[in-house]
Amino acid sequence: MKDIITHLNPAFDHRNRLGIMSILVVNDWVDYNTLKELLSLTDGNLASHLKALELQDFIAVRKKFVGRKPQTTYGATAAGRAAFKAHLDTLEALLHIAREGELD
């Protein structure tokens, strides 16, 4: 079990980061305010998690103008998707082991 835990990606070691990735893997591009609303986070909190994921190259950032307002949208990169999937696989394996343990 220890062995599997080391596979859990520390970049996702926070429920809000998992939340961000969950939204971005099922949507192409999502703007900042929608993310904020869906996750019910404060600006500072969301920005720091987005920055962390961006530094890992798990998400890509796109800035554009809608009328006169700048709009920032975020999308998952291929690397981000792969890492997120691996993380989910690990979680699944851990839960599987835990369930078998309970049965014994």
Of 4, 11, 25, 86, the residue at the interface with other proteins (CB under 8 A) is 25
The answer to whether residues 97 and 1 touch, using CB atoms and an 8 Å cutoff, is yes
Site for other proteins in 32-71 (CB under 8 A): 34, 37-39
Rounded to 5 degrees, what angle do the CA atoms 87, 93, 94 make? Answer: 90
Neighbours of 15 (CB within 10 A): 11
Of 2, 3, 6, 26, the residue at the interface with other proteins (CB under 8 A) is 26
Give the nearest distance from C-beta 23 to other proteins in angstroms.
4
Give the nearest distance from C-beta 86 to other proteins in angstroms.
15
Contacts of 83 (CB under 8 A, 6+ apart): 9, 11, 12, 56, 58
Q: Which spans of this chain sit near other proteins (rule: CB under 8 A)?
A: 15, 18-19, 22-23, 25-27, 30, 34, 37-39, 91, 94-95, 98, 101-102
